[in-house]
Amino acid sequence: MSTDLIEATIGDIEPGSWKNTILAGLANYIDAGSIVAGSAALALWAQRYHLTTGFLGLIAAFSANAIAAGVGALIGGFLCDRLGRKKIYQYDMLFYAFGMLWLVFTVQPWMIVLGSVLVGLAVGADIPASWSLIAETAPEGKRGAHGGVAQVLWLLGPFVVLLMSFLLAPLGLLGARLVFAHLLLLALLLTLLRSRIRESPIWMAAKSMERPNVNASRYQMNGHHQLLDTRYLRSMVFLIGMYGIFNLYTGTLGFFLPYILRTVGTQSQVMAMGLQAGGAFLSIASLVLIFMRLVDRVNQRLLLGFSIALQIVALSLFAVLPLKAPVVILFIVLSALSWFGAPQAFYQLWSAELFPTLVRGSAQGITFAAVRIALGLWSFFVPFLAATQFTTLVWILVAFLAVSGVIGVVWGPRNEGKSLVQIESEVSLTPTSNPMDRVSSSAPRGCDGTDSRDPEGA
């Protein structure tokens, strides 16, 4: 990148960066809140409308938790690179509110499916735009911490939704409608607040420098053709492998855990909501006290590895012990505390670092789409496995965690302490190399985020 772009970035990013992060990161609140609101209502819908396990799988597969969100991310990622981050993440909240209306006023099973699809499309479109904006407007040396705020909001959504579901549980399906209504009102408010945010200065500078080059070589590709470059294809495969496999675990429990606790275990609707709300609170504390303080200064792959190990221990309890209240509580506590290095947080961070500005949203959209669509296909089988082979389901989820952890620890990049502009400049200087190979082989960094190698050997 040019010096002008670097100067524009340094000069425009700092003012209001936390405000930008919060308003953009509220996409995570709405995304996760929508997923958990749907999961909380799942058992109630099944009881009211006599839904089969196959129909429950259909709802899960095409909801904000899975396929619809993936398709929305694919479309939204491409558009936010072409039109700008702000246009997408501002107006798609209106589309979200329209979809949420169907869930608030559902009276037939088909309305649940339609509302879930519309909500999922809107949520998915918002993710690449908001995540790109967060990375591009974060001050130097604080990109991970700003990403951590977005992850806190991703957990705050479930916490508020579960707390509301817990308090409104005596109202039955009416309580679920009120939970959906609060998400609808937030989307409308967010549309208004986001209208006051400026566009990403990095994207504007990169867009102003964009030049078509019909004679470009394979390592000088312009526009979205850059994503066909081997280095970026490999980066997308890495992200899909690490986060996609992890998301099969989190997506399963995020949507089906209340249903599992009620049908496989002996917990009531009130108990299931209360336990998950407590877990969300502990996860937020883990992110704030550990992840946000360390992520920009220490080896990120080690954080991820320790997190995965703790989650494996927690989940294994479900396979070897009866699903009684003490076991469920211990699982909730251990898994929640492990969020200090969960792959989802690193997916948000690394998906911004591994791609150039003008294709960053598209790359995030492609990888996010692959992740959510895979979860959608997997969700078809979860109700059946939960009902007939629960222990087998648990061991499959443990395997997902282990594979995701290995991919992240072995091939995760080492960019802590570097600015987004610096990372992109370094990658552009080595067009034939894979950025993951380059950063993974670097020497360990000091606690201040600086590279401990001799400058002559860099």
Q: How far is CA 86 from the centre of its chain?
A: 19
What angle, rounded to 10 degrees, do the helices at 109-137 and 357-379 form?
150
Counting other chains too, the contacts that 266-269 makes at CB distance below 8 Å and 24 or more residues apart are 266/323, 266/324, 266/325, 267/325, 267/328, 269/43, 269/44, 269/169
pLDDT (tens digit, 9 = 90+) per residue, 281-294? 999 999 999 999 99
Show the domains of the chain with their CATH numbers: 13-203+229-437 (1.20.1250.20)
Residues 312-351 have pLDDT tens digits of 999 999 989 888 888 889 999 999 999 999 999 999 999 9
The pLDDT assigned to 344 comes to 92
How much is the pLDDT for 211? Answer: 60
Q: Which contiguous run of DSSP H or E holds residue 277?
A: helix 269-286
Point out the residues of the chain with pLDDT beneath 70: 1-16, 211-223, 265-266, 269, 427-458
Q: pTM here?
A: 0.82
pLDDT at residue number 24:
86
State residue 25's pLDDT score. 87
- Structure-block tokens of residue 270: 């009130």
> What's the pLDDT score for residue 243?
96
Q: What's the confidence (pLDDT) of residue 434?
A: 46
- Three-class SS of residue 128? helix
